[in-house]
Structure 1
Amino acid sequence: MSKPILIDFFAEWCGPCKRMGPILEELRKRMGDSVEIRQLNVDDHMAEAQSYHISVVPTIVIEKDGVIIQKFQGVTEADTLESVLKPLVE
C-alpha cells in the first residue's frame, strides 16, 4: 500500500494560495515523510489541473492508491488536513 499524496493546486497570483505555504510546512513537520506533499502551479500544469477538475485555487486534493479521498477548496488549516491524512497512514 502506498502513502497518501496531498496535492496543492495553486497560482502565483493567488493571495489565499500564499497563505497555504506555511500551513503545508506545518503539516510536513507533523506528518513527516508518511505523506507525499506536492505543489502544482495551475498556470504551468493546466492539463493536470483539468484532469482533477480544478476550478478554484487553492484546492487541496488528498488521494491514496490513485483514489481521491477528499478535496478542499480555499485555505484549509493543518488540523483539518491532518485529520483526513492520519487514518490513511495508520
Structure 2
Amino acid sequence: MEERRKKGVRLLRSWLTAQQRAQFDRDGYFEVVGCDTGTRYRIRRGTSANIREVDASGRLGMGWCFVPAGELVEGDVMLVQKIALETSELETLNIAKNFYGW
C-alpha cells in the first residue's frame, strides 16, 4: 500500500505546475482555477471533503466533496479533482456535495 501511495503522489506532482508543486510541498495543498467560472479552489491532502473555494483575499469559502469511484490513493484522487475542476468545472460541481467549514 505504501508503494501505491508514493506512486500516486509522484503522478500528482508530475501534473502540477511549478507553483502548485511548491504550494503542495510547503503547505500540503495546491490551488487550481475552474475552467468555467474562474473560481479558485484549494485542494488539500485527502480523499474527500478536501476542496474549498478561495476568494480574492485568500479567505476560504464553500467546500466541495467529490471523489472518483474505486479504491484510489490520495494522490490519484487529488489529481482527478484537479483535472475535473480545470476541464469540466460546472459538470463536476453538479455532482459534488457542498459544505461549509472543515
TM norm structure 2: 0.35
Q: Pick the structure with more strand per residue.
A: 1
Between 1 and 2, higher relative CO (CA 8 Å, sep ≥ 6) is seen in 1
